[in-house]
Structure 1
Amino acid sequence: MTDSRFSPGTLAFDLDGPLLRIDGDWTLQHYAALRRQVLGVLARIDARSQVALDGLGALDTAGAGLLVELLGQERIAAIEAWAPGLPAERLALLQSVARALAQPEAEQPRQGYEFGDVLAHIGRTVQGVCRQQRMLLGFIGLTLQTLLLNLPRPRRWRLTPLVAHVEQTGLDAIPIVALLTFLVGAVVAFLGATVLADFGATIYTVSLVGFSFLREFGVLLAAILLAGRSASAFAAQIGSMKSNEEIDAIRTLGLSPIELLVLPRVLAMLIALPILTFVGMLSGIVGGAVVCVLALDISPTLFMTIMQRDIDLVHFLVGMGKAPVFAFVIAVIGCLEGFKVGGSAQSVGEHTTSSVVQSIFMVILLDAIAALFFMEMGW
C-alpha cells in the first residue's frame, strides 16, 4: 500500500515549448514507475530542452541517480545557474551522485597468465622473504636484549618453565634421535663399504662414519628433528595463546611475553640440542660400528683404534659448536611464528607449518655456510 503522504514523481513536456517539468517525490519507493518514465522521455530531451525543478518534492539517492541519468553530467554540473531556487541539500545530493556516477569503471582483471605476471609473482615472493628476514632479525635482537637484561637478575629467572621445556624438547626426544642416527649410521656404513670395496679400501669406512657423524650428521639430524618436533610445538603453543588473547592479558598485567614465553624456550633449546647432538654422534657411530663388525669383519677393537688414530678432536668440536647456533635459530623462529598467529585455527596451522619449513631451511643454510667457512679455515 502506498503512503498517502508521498506523491509519485512525474515527468511532462509543456505544449508551449521544450520545457520538461519534474514534479513529485523522486524516492526509492517509486523507483520502478520513475524508471519507466525516464526511459520514455530520455530520447526526447536534448541540450535545447528547458528543465523546471520547481515542483520537485522529496529526493533520495535513488531518485537523484535517475535525474542524473535523465539530465546528464554537464547539466547537473551547471545546476546552480539554471535552477537557483533548488534547496542547498538537494543541490548537494544531486552533485554528489553525479560525481560518483562520473567515476571511471574499474579495470577488469586480465584473463590468463602472462610472463609479466610470473615476474610480478617472483617479485612479491622475494619481497615477502626479505620482510620475513627483517622481522626475524628484529625478533632476534629483542630476544638477546631481554636475555642480557635478565642475566644479572636471578630473581627474574624462570627456572620451572625452563626445566619443563628441557624435558619436553631434550629428554623426550632422545629415543627418536638415537634411533634415527643409529639407522643413518648403518646406511652410511653400507654405502661407504659398497663404494670403497671396488678400490680395496673398505677399512676407510670407519673414517667415513666417524668423520660424517662427528662433523655433520650428528648435529644436522638432531637439529632437523627438533625443528619438526619443537619449533612446531612452540609456534602452536604461543599461537593458541595469541588467538585466545592470553598474550594481551600478559601485557595488560605489565609483564613481558618475551621474558615469560620466549626466553625459557630459547634457553631450553640451547641446553637440549647439544645433548641431543652428542647422543646422535654416539648412536650414528655405533650404527656404523655394527655394520663394520657384521659385514666387513672389522672388530670393535680395530674400529675404535682407527677412530682414535684418524679422527681428530677438531671434528667433534666443529659439530658441537654448530649446535647452539642451530638451537637458537630454531627456537626463535618457532616463537616468532607463534606471535604472528591471527585469531583463527587456520592461522595457527599455517604458522605452525611455516615454522617447521623456515627452521629446516635455516638449519641447512647455516650448515652449508659453516661448512664453507671451516673448509676455508682448514678446520
Structure 2
Amino acid sequence: MRAAEPRPDAALQMRGEGDRRVLSGRLAITALPSPDAFRGARQVDLSGLTGLDTAGAWLLDDARRNGAELVGLPAGLRPVLDAVAAAVPAPPPAPPRRGLRDLVKDLGRKVVVSASGAAGLVEYLGRFLAALGRALRHPAQFPFTALVHHCQQAGLAAVPIVATISALIGVVLAYQGAFQLRAFGAEIFTVDLIGIAVLREMGILLTAIVVAGRTGAAFTAAIGAMQMREEIDAMRTLDIDPDMALMLPRVLALVLMMPILALIADLAGLLGGAVMSWGALGISPAMFMARLGDRIAVTHAVVGLIKAPIFGLLIGVIGCRAGMQVGGDTESLGRLTSASVVAAIFAVILADAAFSIFFAQVGW
C-alpha cells in the first residue's frame, strides 16, 4: 500500500514531555525519531501528521504495543498504519509450564529410546555373528579382499594419529606425575604411574575413542551413502547379503586391528613418558625400562589388550547399524554419523567401566 503523499515542506516536529507527545509534519524514514522518544508516553497526538511511510508506521505501532494511545491520526494515513500493524508477526506463545508429569513422560520416552537402541545393537551383533558363521561354513563366500582393504583403512592408516596422541598422553602423564610426586620425594613412582595408566587404561581407551571418531564415522557415512542411493536394495535384489558384503569385513577388520593399534599406542605412550621422565626427572631410558620391568606386571598389558577386540566389535557394529538406518536425505546421514560417534564412545566407556569392575573383582 502506498503511503499518503505529504506536502514537500512538512518537516517532522515533536513536542511534549511526560506521558504525552505531539507529532506534526511528515513521519518518514528520512526523519525518524528514536524509539526511546516514546518511552513513558501514554498518549501520542497525531492530528498534525501530514505524511507517513511504512518505517514511521512501524515506529507508531511499536509505541502502541508498548502501551501508548494513538489519537487524532488523519483518516488518509490510517491505512498505512493498519497495513504495517497487520504485517508485524505475532510474538510466539509462551511455552506451557511443565510439571512433574511431563518430566516423567520425557524420562520414560528417553528410556524407551535407549532400550530400543540397545535392542538394535544386540540385533546387529547377532547379524554379524550369523554372517561370520556363514562365512566360516562357506569360505568361498568370505569377503577376503574387502577385509584386507578395511584392515588397511582402519588399522595401518590410523597408526600415525594413534601413536601421536598416545605419545603426547605419555608426556602429559609423566609431567603431571613428576610435578605432583616431587613434593613427596617420590619422583621414581612416576614410572609406575605411566606404566599402569598407559598399559591398563589410557592406551586402549584413547585408541578406541580415536577409532570411533575416525573409522566408526567412516563406516556410517559409507553405508549411509549406499543406503541413500538405494544400492543396498539393489544388492538384495541381486541376492547379495549386505551383512556379508558390508558389515562382516568392516566389523571383523576392527576386531583384528584394535589389538595391534592398542599395542602401538602402549609403546608410543611409554616412549613419550620415558622421554619426558628423562628430561624432567633425569631418569635415563635404561633406568626407566628397568623400573618398568621390575614394578609393572604383564597382566596390566594383558588387561588392556583383552579390551581391544571388544571395543572394536562395539565400534564396528554401532557404525554399521547407524549407516543402515540412514534415510533418503542428507540430513539423516549427517545426524546419524554424529550419533554413531557419540554412541560408540559412550559404549566404549561403559564397557571399560564394566571391565574395570570385573578385573578388580578377579584380582587383576
Q: Could you say whether these structures have the same fold, taking a TM-score greater than 0.5 normalized by the shorter chain as the test? A: yes
Residues 1:320 and 2:305 aligned together: yes
Q: Deviations over 1:129-151 (max 9, x none)?
A: 00110111111111101111211
Which of the numbers 248, 266, 272 marks the counterpart of 2:257?
272
Residues 1:227 and 2:207 aligned together: no
Q: Deviations over 1:225-272 (max 9, x none)?
A: 000001110011101111110000000011110000000101111122
Which of the numbers 188, 194, 200 marks the counterpart of 2:185?
200
Which of the numbers 96, 111, 115 marks the counterpart of 1:126?
111
Q: Matched residues in 2 for 1:114 and 1:152: separation? A: 57
Q: Deviations over 1:182-206 (max 9, x none)?
A: 1111001111111111111100100
1:113 corresponds in structure 2 to 98
Local SS of the residue matching 2:188: helix
Local SS of the residue matching 1:202: coil
Once the 2 structures are TM-superposed, how far is the Cα of residue 159 of structure 1 from its aligned partner? 1.4
Residues 1:140 and 2:125 aligned together: yes
Once the 2 structures are TM-superposed, how far is the Cα of residue 152 of structure 1 from its aligned partner? 2.8
Residues 1:305 and 2:290 aligned together: yes
Once the 2 structures are TM-superposed, how far is the Cα of residue 369 of structure 1 from its aligned partner? 0.5
2:340 corresponds in structure 1 to 355
Once the 2 structures are TM-superposed, how far is the Cα of residue 114 of structure 1 from its aligned partner? 2.6
1:296 corresponds in structure 2 to 281
Question: Runs of at least 4 residues of structure 1 off by over 6 A?
Answer: none
1:149 corresponds in structure 2 to 134
1:171 corresponds in structure 2 to 156
1:378 corresponds in structure 2 to 363
Q: Matched residues in 2 for 1:205 and 1:339: separation? A: 46
Q: Matched residues in 1 for 2:279 and 2:166: separation? A: 18
Q: Matched residues in 1 for 2:135 and 2:147: separation? A: 14
Residues 1:238 and 2:213 aligned together: no
Q: Matched residues in 2 for 1:200 and 1:111: separation? A: 61
Local SS of the residue matching 1:242: helix
Once the 2 structures are TM-superposed, how far is the Cα of residue 370 of structure 1 from its aligned partner? 0.2
Q: Matched residues in 2 for 1:233 and 1:243: separation? A: 15
Local SS of the residue matching 2:137: coil
Q: Matched residues in 1 for 2:294 and 2:133: separation? A: 42
1:369 corresponds in structure 2 to 354
2:169 corresponds in structure 1 to 184
Q: Matched residues in 2 for 1:255 and 1:118: separation? A: 46
Paired letter, 1:287: G
Paired letter, 2:298: L
Q: Do the aligned partners of residues 292 and 110 (structure 1) sit closer, same or farther apart at CA in structure 2, a change above 3 Å counting?
A: closer
Larger radius of gyration: 1
Q: Matched residues in 2 for 1:119 and 1:227: separation? A: 32
Q: Matched residues in 2 for 1:370 and 1:237: separation? A: 31
Which of the numbers 321, 337, 343 marks the counterpart of 2:322?
337
Identity of aligned residues (%): 44
Q: Do the aligned partners of residues 110 and 306 (structure 1) sit closer, same or farther apart at CA in structure 2, a change above 3 Å counting?
A: closer
Q: Matched residues in 1 for 2:161 and 2:314: separation? A: 21
1:160 corresponds in structure 2 to 145
Once the 2 structures are TM-superposed, how far is the Cα of residue 116 of structure 1 from its aligned partner? 1.8
Q: Matched residues in 2 for 1:272 and 1:150: separation? A: 19
Paired letter, 1:138: E
Q: TM-score, with normalisation over the residues of structure 1?
A: 0.70
Paired letter, 2:245: L
Q: Matched residues in 1 for 2:190 and 2:263: separation? A: 21
Q: Matched residues in 2 for 1:131 and 1:152: separation? A: 31
Q: Matched residues in 2 for 1:152 and 1:146: separation? A: 10
2:233 corresponds in structure 1 to 248
Return 5+ residue gaps in structure 1 as ranges: 1-108
Q: Matched residues in 1 for 2:241 and 2:224: separation? A: 16
Local SS of the residue matching 1:113: coil
Local SS of the residue matching 2:342: helix
Q: Matched residues in 1 for 2:300 and 2:95: separation? A: 58
Q: Matched residues in 1 for 2:265 and 2:127: separation? A: 32
Paired letter, 2:260: I
Q: Matched residues in 2 for 1:326 and 1:300: separation? A: 32
Q: Matched residues in 1 for 2:131 and 2:360: separation? A: 35
Return 5+ residue gaps in structure 2 as ranges: 1-93
Once the 2 structures are TM-superposed, how far is the Cα of residue 110 of structure 1 from its aligned partner? 8.4
Q: Matched residues in 2 for 1:258 and 1:142: separation? A: 7
Q: TM-score, with normalisation over the residues of structure 2?
A: 0.73
